[in-house]
Structure 1
């Protein structure tokens, strides 16, 4: 964080003191809360993700490739049993409000699954840098990651280059993929993450990162929760929806931040949030 600059949004009393997390997000592009959930909670989430993954693979367009043996699936909130417990967790709520302001919007729910044989992804960010970030050095969205397994070295850990959320280079292909000539810098900065069941992280999806090679016989599913500030428009890339009955069962505090259609019946999502260089398997 720039010395003397306070990026925390003025949102009144927060449930949890997240000032150190805000500082970490602006400095490193990532922060985390260890043990936010019980391991048993993560196990139930893992069951829900496994069921959704099986369903997605059974139909055309249900899952999108993010490189060889690596998939992304967007889902509806009702496909996990404790969506409310996730989005209404005091740390999640407080980080969103502090970084994005009181009018933050939940726009994405999905998961990444690196299977056995997944290879190193190219270094990338998930979308081009917004103008607010470029000109004002301000983050306008966050991605929360929740692992459903205890991550081990051979399972293809997530790798991130701290501080690179501010990298702004016209040579980035599609505004997301740095040239291979820049890889040595990212490899020098790179930190591998080994979250365990119950941990949750928050990051700027602009921070340069990649999934690494899964050399094990195990998959490493990770839930992704995408949250926008008022000026972001990532909801255009997603098709999350809730049924009317589910909407009416939600606490008002959750409904206030849930930016998605309310429908009579859910339609399975055909994936459209593709990332060209990852779909092509350019690792």
Structure 2
């Protein structure tokens, strides 16, 4: 498995986590260009495509996130580069700075919009936790890595910076703002065009959406979910590792991977559905 692109490692200084934390608290998102080689990203895509073919062939293996758009959660062993990813110095620095030294890796999966995917409604991925509402403290992060070089025709990710703390008394399910607020998000909207090897980190509370895929290509994106020690997003996920794989992991990884260790993996039935996304533009 090709490892991270070392020529970019000089960009990761001791204050990288602090800079990322400031960006996430201000804009809701930050990124590192060229964190991994294109060969690493291509291997990631091979693993994503194999996992999707397996998941979509069984009940509950893939969940719809709108027309022609799917989410699949996977086990760490299904991604050859899992250890590379979670030990990358920038990932470790960001997790530690934003979530604290006892952060927990709780989710590994991918979103794939295929040709014909439509605009999603503006949303956040889960209701605002009480600690965020009362203390303005973010206690989870989502890291994203594209498996392709993103173009405008592919339906890029669109985010409204600075909306991670928007109050939500009128949000449906605590996640979907009413259309009366859409002008606010449209005015702030920024489309992201990551290339293979890039990685971003964001608060999943920042209002965002996937846009319409007008190309004939899919746009798979890996998702790594990480919690602070007091967050509860692990309840929505079901990843596990085998005993042999657990034994092979560096202690640096085992310290942050709080999931069942089992004799044999069971295919994941998706638990993290997001109400409303099946409707797309409707």
TM-score of the two chains, using structure 2 as the length reference: 0.94
Note the aligned Cα RMSD (angstroms).
1.0
What residue in structure 1 maps to residue 126 of structure 2?
Answer: 127
What residue in structure 1 maps to residue 138 of structure 2?
Answer: 139
Structure 1 residue ranges (4+ consecutive) displaced by more than 6 angstroms after TM superposition? none
- Cα distance in 2 between the residues matched to 1:108 and 1:259: 10
Q: Secondary structure at the match of 1:167?
A: coil
Gaps of 5+ in 2: 1-12
Q: Secondary structure at the match of 1:132?
A: helix
Whether the 8 Å contact between 2:144 and 2:223 is mirrored in structure 1 is: yes
2:46 is the alignment partner of 1:76: no
* Alpha-carbon displacement from aligned partner over 1:242-266 (angstroms, at most 9, x marks no partner): 0000000000010000011000000
TM-score of the two chains, using structure 1 as the length reference: 0.94
What residue in structure 2 maps to residue 27 of structure 1?
Answer: 26
Q: Secondary structure at the match of 1:18?
A: helix
Q: Secondary structure at the match of 2:245?
A: helix
Q: Secondary structure at the match of 2:158?
A: strand
Gaps of 5+ in 1: 1-13
Whether the 8 Å contact between 1:64 and 1:279 is mirrored in structure 2 is: no
Whether the 8 Å contact between 1:154 and 1:216 is mirrored in structure 2 is: yes
- Cα distance in 2 between the residues matched to 1:100 and 1:276: 27
Residue 82 of structure 1 and its aligned partner are, at CA, apart by 1.3
What residue in structure 2 maps to residue 277 of structure 1?
Answer: 276
Residue 109 of structure 1 and its aligned partner are, at CA, apart by 0.1
Q: Which moved more, 1:17-26 or 1:204-213?
A: 17-26
Whether the 8 Å contact between 1:16 and 1:90 is mirrored in structure 2 is: no
1:195-214 superposed matches below 5 A = 195-214=194-213
2:229 is the alignment partner of 1:227: no
Whether the 8 Å contact between 2:69 and 2:112 is mirrored in structure 1 is: yes
Q: How many residues were matched structurally?
A: 270
Q: Secondary structure at the match of 2:186?
A: helix
1:143-162 superposed matches below 5 A = 143-162=142-161
